[in-house]
Structure 1
Amino acid sequence: MRVPIFFKMRSPTIAAIILAALFGWQAPATAQTRIVAIVNGTPITSTAVAEQKAFVRLTQKKQMTDKEALAVLVDQTLVQQEAKRRTVTVSDSDVDQRFNGLAASNKMTPDQLGQGLAQAGTSARTFKENIRTQLIQRRLVNFRIRASSGIAEKDIAAEITERKQKGEAANDVYTLQQILFVTPANPPPAVVAQRKKEAETLRTRIQSCDQGAEFARSLRDVAVKEKITRQSSQMGDAFRQQVQALKVGQATAPDLSSVGVEIVMICGKQSVQDDTALRQEITNELAGEASKGETEKMMTELRQKALIEYR
């Protein structure tokens, strides 16, 4: 059975990267890069195989053989070649948005996530190529389903309208500011408890970001980070629910991160009219049972037509 291209991108994945960095895990040295397969003229290298294995170890918490990792890369190549043939594209900005959103939902910058991936033996490039392939594959499958099952644009539009009327289609943009109560590496429970108490005290005092930042800067071993903007659709479920329950000027409950105890202040909120994510979600839902088996059917067809040379 082939390893699926799709993968789950959840908080434990990023936590594993952080732990790898904290405990100083280093990827083993790799041999000189060589071409291990050519798929319809497109080469796949041994380095790509090694990075894919490390990526899956982090995102799926499982070990892959070289053969399994190569099979995934072959499928990715076939998907991207099919997308090019059908002029189905995913922009770099779409991929970066997903990557940056995953970093933000785990309270990391994109650079920090990239550094953690590199230290764990993979790379931001490999992560983004998996994201890109996942998005492309979904679009190709949805295209096939819509062509065969007759999902009409009017049905999608009607569902969008209904959800907006029910208030279920909100996609807000938040301006956020993190305040970090720094702790040493592997802090004892007493230190964590004390820092959480200090963070909670600050949280209950503030009524605005400016006030919170001013108070925080007067405290010892407390850092005030630059403000950032994030769409609610980019946040993890738990963090989004917490943010949505707060008013502008309030802050999230203290939470322990890899470098200390954090609270996040809500500095601004603005509703946006962007149906892209909602449209994709509805298309997937309307496809329903029709999507089962369609991905593997498509991949089987692509593999049968492909010219693959293994070395």
Structure 2
Amino acid sequence: MNFCVRALALACMLTVSVPASMAQTSQAADYIVAVVNSEPITFQEMNLEVRRVGQRLAQQGRPVPGADELRRLVLDRLINDRAQLQLAREQGIRIDSVAIDRAEQNIASQNGLDVDALRQKAANDGFSVTSFRNNLRDQLILNRLHEREVESSIRISDVDVDRAIQEQQATNTDPFAQEINLAQILLVLPEKASGEEAAALLLKAQKLMQRARNGEDFNALVQEFSAADRRNGGQIGLRRGDRLPPAFVTATQGLQPGQVSDVVRTGAGFHILKLIERKAPERLVVTMVQTRARHILLRANAQMTQAQAIARLTDARKQIVSGQADFASMARKMSQDTSAEQGGDLGWASPGMFVPEFEEAMGRLQEEGAVSPPVVSRFGVHLIQLNDRRRVELSPQQVRESVRAQLRQSRYEEAYTAWARDVRARAFVELREAPL
């Protein structure tokens, strides 16, 4: 997900309410504080936005600038946004109501609300439905403008990628990319062991760990107590971190050679691990987490509106979560996607393979079997179930593309700042004093 989309997602969250320039107010006294290419910004707009930003910073526990500084910063942002929206209009950038509907539905889903409840909350905060949707439209317009004007201007050469790969390889501290050799003592926990038996075995493991830390010969302890392979002092052999149990890597990532980890529990039992050797990778190794999920897709059409699709999938989710129905069976029966025959199975997916709305909802699912609320994308309405996650190594070409994306993102802020400064410089901006 690129920087612009992330910024849009943050700006559109309900907790970050719409700009005060869109808010309705009954305050009668008002005057113009700035003019941007003949388009005015009023004191009411600025003042409401100042209060909103100040309240949000306070809620987040962040320092709130002084009143004069906060007004200056807010007015500066309002001027920049106004100039950029004017440029977008000049370039013919338009956002249709379908895209606004989709953004509104996604905000509601992210906040655990339906659209009506979202609109009611906005109304309670003083924002009409029209002003709220106008803000979404403006944010989508700015997002599209930034993609066109800023992202397209960033150039990353092969030389840039080569240099970045060399730098990352020299400073790679990812424990899953490093090669490590561990020796272990394994105390097997029987599959049907009681809680008392597990506690007793844990106590035994902790005592062995302490003996090892106190300097007793680890090889002798391995030979006497370990249920794992005892050859070569229980050493597993030099392996890359992503080819070891994740719990082993996590438990030993802060150790120096010769040090002993805390007790690690796995399905096999309790492990005491000693770090024998750690080596930096000979080439840049990049791993990523792939996700396997299922989904049910309903498409809005003449026979079924988007609201009806959301209602149907909300009911389906209740049945699945309560155990009354199986996700795969529901997908075969309901889904309008080609994956329906496979029970909605989408296979292993790398980050960025799906549209942002789908990807974000899938990323919020933490436990295997968890089911998302209905998610609206340009393809329709989805219900998503997490099946599994795994860490895999990227191919050399994928590593280059990953590094290129990192460079692009790191250069975005600089490129955006320069572009925004240029747009501001080309606009006619007049600041006005308060009337006497």
With normalisation by structure 1, the TM-score equals 0.50
Q: Which has the larger radius of gyration?
A: 2
The structure in which a higher percent of residues are helix is 1
User: How does the TM-score come out when normalised to structure 2?
Assistant: 0.38
